[in-house]
Amino acid sequence: MIYNYYSSELDCNRVTIVGKFEGKFLKIAAARCGLNDNFEKKEGRKIATKRLGENNIIATIKTKKQNGKVFNMVANQISILISNRIIDVYLNKDTED
């Protein structure tokens, strides 16, 4: 099952987070809306889900429980970090150098 999370309108840049549990691990991928873009859940979900499928993930987190509540707590914190540009979203090819 793939979980989806959409950041708040109050955030600097809207973010879509997708994740799935593989055993005790939660794999997370994301897409961030640009400053001049209109936020579209469908487009953000499409981009982030594609990244997850390509194993272009931004975090793998070991969790004690595997459910939607855990995903939402993790996704909320990651979306704040991405939205405020504390961490960034890159394609794998952008970080290989």
For the segment 36-91, what is each residue's pLDDT rounded down to a tens digit? 778 889 999 999 999 999 999 999 999 999 999 999 999 999 998 888 888 777 65
- Confirm if 6 and 75 have CB atoms less than 8 A apart: no
pTM of the model: 0.84
Q: Would you list the domain boundaries of the chain?
A: 2-94
**Distance between CA 23 and CA 35 in Å, rounded?**
36
The string of pLDDT tens digits covering residues 13-34 is: 789 999 999 999 999 999 988 7
**Rounded to a whole number, what is the distance in angstroms from the first to the last CA of the chain?**
33
